[in-house]
Amino acid sequence: MGSGILTEVPMTSALTLAAVSNRTATLLCTPDGTRFTLAAPLAWQVFCGSDLIADGVTTVAPVFLEGLTPATGYVFRACGAELAFETAPCAGLVDVTAHGASVEAADNSAAFARAIAAVPEGGTLMVPPGRYCIRPIHLKARMTLYLPKGAELYADHDRQNWPILPPHDDASRVVGTWEGLPEAAFAAPVTAIDCDNLTITGAGRIDAGGDRGDWWSWPKETRDGARRPRALFLAHGRNVQLSGFTLCNSPSWTLHPYRIDGLTCTGLNIENPPDSPNTDGLNPESCTDVRLLGIRFSVGDDCIAVKAGKRGPGQVDHILPTRGLMVHHCLMARGHGAVVLGSEMSGDITDVDVAACEFVGTDRGLRIKTRRGRGGKVAHVRLSDVVMTGVGTPLAINAFYFCDPDGRSEAVQSRDPAPVDHTTPQVFDISLTDVLATDVQIAGVALLGLPEAPITGVTIRNFRVSFDPNAQPAVPLMAAHLDAVRHIPLWTEFAQVDGTVDLLPSPQEAR
C-alpha cells in the first residue's frame, strides 16, 4: 500500500514518527518542555544506511521530509537521539502531466480525473512543481496524492457550473453538509468521498480561491442552490493521512473531515486572512481516533472546531459522535477560538486530549459551546501543558450560545430552568492542568451552564494567569444578558468548579 495510519507510533523520549508515506515522513522533535516552538534551533540528519541523505535545522517541533524512496529504511537523528523508520511501498507512480495537466491550462480538472483513474491501488499521483489551475477534483481510496515543494493546486475563481454535493447520495449517506445538517454544498477544490487509506502529502500548497470570486461575500447564504465549499473535504473513510502541505484561502471551513475513522493530520500549515468569514481551520465532524500533531494555524475563525452534527426538524439520523481526539504540539497563531468543541455537538464529543500546544492571540483558548435543543454531551476533555499569550478568555464554556435563527429567543436565552429531555445538552468532566496564560483580556475562566443542566466536573490545577493592563471590557461569552467585564479570574454561573486561578503580575507590574 502507498499510505496508511500508524497503529503504534515509534518514539524516543524526544523523537516521534508522526506520519510516514511512501515518499514522505513527519517527525516531531520534542526535547523536554517543547510545545510547538523549540527553545533553540535544532540540527537534524537523515541517513539511509551509512549515507547522509538530508540534513537541516529546525526551530519548531515538526520536521517534514520528502523525496524519500518507497519501501526503504531510514534513520533520523536529532535531540541526541535517533529513530529508525521505513517508508511504505508504492504500487506505481503516475505523473499528472503525462495525462495532460499543464501550468498553462485554465482548467486541469479533466486531466487530473484521467490521471487519478490511472493510479493503481496503492499507487501515487505526483504533481510536479508549478501552479495548476483546477476546478474540483475527486480523489479515490487507496491512493496517495503527492504535492512536493513548489507544486500548487490553484482553484478557479468562477463558480459557474461548479459541481454540487447533494445532501445525500444514492445510499442515503450524507455527502453535502453545512453546520451540522445535511444540505447541498459546492464541492471542495479537493474532494474525496469513500476515501479509505487515502494519503495527501508533500510540502506543496492547495490554494482554494476564497479570496477570488465572490465566496467571502455570502458567508451564511445559499446561492445557486448550494452552500459555500470547503478547501479540502473528506467523507466516509478509514485510515486517512494528511501531512506537510499548506491549505489556504478557503471559501468556508478549510479542512473538513466527515465520518473518518482513523485520521492523522501532521506538519500542515492552515492559513486564511483574519477577516475571512467562517474560515475555521480544521473541523473533524463525527470522526473517531483523530490525531492532530504539529500543525500551524492562522485563520479567520476557530482554529480547530470539533463537530458532531446537530438536531434539525425531523433530522436526527445523520448524528454520530466525535471521540478520541488528540491535539499535540500545535500552534494556534490567530483565530476566534484555539480548540473549540461545538456548537454542533448533538452526537457527543468525548475523549479529547489537548497538550503541549501554543495559543497566541485567539479570542478564546479551549472553548465549549452549546445551547438548548442540541442534546448530546461534551465530556472527558483534558487540556494540559499549554502556553497562551494574548488570549481573551483561556477557558470558556457556554450553554447559551446564540446560534441559529432562534438563538436569541427567550426560550433559548432564559435563565429560568427548562424541562430536561433528550434535547438538553450536558457538559461535564473538563480539566485544565499546567497552563500559563499571559496578557489575558477578559476572564481566566468563564463558565455559563444551563440552570436545568449545570456544568459539572470542571477541575483546574496549576493554572497561572496575568492580565493585559490595556484590555477593554467585553462580554466573556456569546450569550444574551451578560455584562462586559475585564480582568476576572473566575466567572461562573450554573457551574461547579474544583480549583482556583493563580494570578501573576502583568509584565508592567513585574518591572
| pLDDT value for 11 | 46
Active site residue 256: no
d(CA 88, CA 73): 10
510 has a pLDDT exceeding 70: no
Q: What digits encode the pLDDT tens for the residues 253-273? A: 999 999 999 999 999 999 999
| pLDDT value for 6 | 37
Kindly indicate the confidence band of residue 105, based on its pLDDT and cuts at 50, 70 and 90.
very high
Active site residue 336: yes
Extended strands (E) in 267-376: 269-271, 288-293, 296-298, 304-306, 322-328, 331-332, 335-342, 349-355, 358-360, 362-369
9 has a pLDDT exceeding 50: no
Kindly indicate the confidence band of residue 5, based on its pLDDT and cuts at 50, 70 and 90.
very low
Q: What cell numbers appear for 119 in the block?
A: 493510479
Q: What digits encode the pLDDT tens for the residues 215-249? A: 999 999 999 999 999 999 999 999 999 999 999 99
Q: What cell numbers appear for 76 in the block?
A: 533520523
Q: Burial of 51 by CB count in 10 Å (0-12 exposed, 13-18 middle, 19+ buried)?
A: exposed
d(CA 222, CA 252): 13
Residues 6 or more apart whose CB falls under 8 angstroms from that of 362 comprise 303, 332, 334, 335, 336, 337, 338, 388, 391, 392
Q: What cell numbers appear for 499 in the block?
A: 480549583
Q: What digits encode the pLDDT tens for the residues 485-497? A: 999 999 999 999 9
Q: What digits encode the pLDDT tens for the residues 372-407? A: 999 999 999 999 999 999 999 999 999 999 988 899
Whether 221 contacts 278, CB under 8 Å: no
Q: What cell numbers appear for 220 in the block?
A: 451564511
> All domains of the chain, ordered by start, with CATH?
15-86 (2.60.40.10), 361-511 (no CATH)
Choose, from 336, 363, 439, 487, the residue flagged as catalytic: 336
| pLDDT value for 507 | 62
| pLDDT value for 404 | 87
| pLDDT value for 3 | 42
Choose, from 156, 280, 301, 439, the residue flagged as catalytic: 301
Average pLDDT taken over every residue of the chain: 95
d(CA 182, CA 166): 8
